[in-house]
Structure formats: structure tokens, C-alpha cells
Amino acid sequence: MTTGLNRALAHRLSPQARQRVRRATDRLTTGVGSLKGCRTDTPVVALTYDDGPDPEGTPAVLAALAEAGVTATFFQLVERAEQYPELVRAVLAAGHEIGLHGIDHARLTTRPIRQASGWLVEGRARLSAVAGRPIRLFRPTYGAQSLRTYLAARQAGLLPVVWGPSADDWRDGDPAEVANRVTTRLGPGEVVLLHDGFEVPPGDHTPRPAFDRGAVTSALLDLLAERDYTATSVSGLLRHGAPWRTAWFRP
């Protein structure tokens, strides 16, 4: 009954009010919290890209970011990084940062915890080898994370990074429409979820979206500028305030 009442009240709150409630409750879970952004009133967000490197999407995104003079964070799949090491080097050469997204795009929470722990250690080592520098950030595929996989990531020397506003860019649409999905849920200090690649589960035949991912990035940066927001990487975002952590556990 209480849960139902809370949900009903939540639906009546404005997006801004729901954000304030989340920030208040997240302060109680900082001990087991994944990074969700920073606590700031400055209109700044972090742009993060998953599922790359991709020979089509990554160069387009890099070009759009370079034109705007913006840095971002790319959460990469090890198997793709090893297949396209030149794209890993291009991301780093442009001043962006790289985090681990997985060896492949399998859901970590479906693995026995000992296997998941080994997978995290191996994934970090292999991606660090391609990048030529230590990898410290981690974005779980599908956002799937249990307390045990969270602790395994921390033990592997990785900081889980989750997200707030999302472009839902696994769904097709006009670039401006896709970008606008982010700005309808925007707040200072948020981590924005985007993709420079496209991965689906085995057996899933969802077609690859036809839009240009660089065009989505350009459209989003224009919308952010209209709202007096600036964009940066995850590390850049943390220069604007204390880390905002949340207890993020999903199957």
C-alpha cells in the first residue's frame, strides 16, 4: 500500500521535483553507490557513448565533438576495441576518455559471480592494453548490476558509472528528435547516455537505426547550448562538484 502511494505521488511530481527526491535519497546510499553524476547547480552534463568502437558511428561522433570542442567518455567493448584499435587511438588522441563496457555485450548479472569477477579483471586488462593506459571507469551492459557484481567491479579497480537522461538511441528517428529525448529529462550534473555503436542480444533482430550518430551529437549540442548547458566527459564533470552516487541494482 505504501509503495503504491509513493509511486502515485512520484507520478504527480514534476521532473525537477523527482530529481530533488532522488538526490536526497541517494545521499543515504553513497557507500554502495555507482557514479550517476555530480552535485552541482552549474548547467553542465557529461556525454557518454556505449557499444563502440564502431567504424561507422565512432568517427561521426568524434567529428561532431571536435567541431564543438567538446570531450566525452566512451565505454567500449573489448572485442570491438581489439578489432578496431585505430579507433581507440583516435578517441584518445582527440582528448576523450575510455571506460570498460564489457568484453562482449553479455549481461554480467547472468554469469556466476566468480566468472563475472574474472571477466571484469580480464576485460580491464585487455582494454588497458589496447588503450595503452589504465582503465578505471566501467559501464555495465544494459545497466545490469547486482550488489555482488558491483563489489566485483570495485575489487577489480573499476568505478561503475550509470546514467540519467538517455537518447534511447537504439530506437530510430530524426536526429533532432533523438537528441530531444535527452533534453526533456535534463538536469545539472547529469550523465547522459548515448551510443556510438549498436549491439543487441543474440537472436534479437532489431534493425540498426538509420540515423547518423554524429548528427545526433551535433543536434544535442545545439539543444544544450540553447539552454546554456555545456558538455564534458565524466572526469570533466566531477570538477564541478562532489560525486553523485546512487544504489543502482538491476537484473
The pLDDT assigned to 201 comes to 83
Cα atoms found within 13 Å of the Cα of residue 199, Cβ hemisphere only = 25
- Residue that is written with C-alpha cell 588497458 in the block: 128
Asked if pLDDT for residue 3 goes beyond 50, the answer is no
- For residue range 55-82, list pLDDT tens digits in order: 999 999 999 999 999 999 999 999 999 9
> Residues 144-172: what's their mean pLDDT?
97
Asked if pLDDT for residue 175 goes beyond 50, the answer is yes
Q: Which residues pair with 193 in a beta bridge?
A: 48, 166
Question: Which of these is catalytic: 50, 51, 54, 196?
Answer: 50
Range with lowest mean pLDDT among 19-23, 38-42, 87-91, 143-147: 19-23
Question: Which of these is catalytic: 101, 105, 195, 240?
Answer: 195
Q: Is residue 101 annotated as a catalytic residue, yes or no?
A: no
Written as one string, the DSSP assignment of 193-232 is EEESS----TT--PPPP-S-HHHHHHHHHHHHHHTT-EEE
Find out whether 128 and 89 touch, Cβ atoms under 8 Å: no
- For residue range 14-33, list pLDDT tens digits in order: 666 655 655 555 565 556 69
Q: How far apart are CA 159 and CA 114, in angstroms?
A: 19
The pLDDT assigned to 202 comes to 81
Range with lowest mean pLDDT among 50-54, 155-159, 197-201, 218-222: 197-201
- Strand ranges for the chain from DSSP E: 34-39, 44-52, 73-77, 97-102, 137-138, 159-160, 191-195, 230-232, 242-246
pTM (two decimals): 0.89
Residue at 201: amino acid letter: P
Q: What is the mean pLDDT of the chain?
A: 91
Do strands 242-246 and 34-39 pair parallel, antiparallel, or not at all (unpaired)? Answer: antiparallel
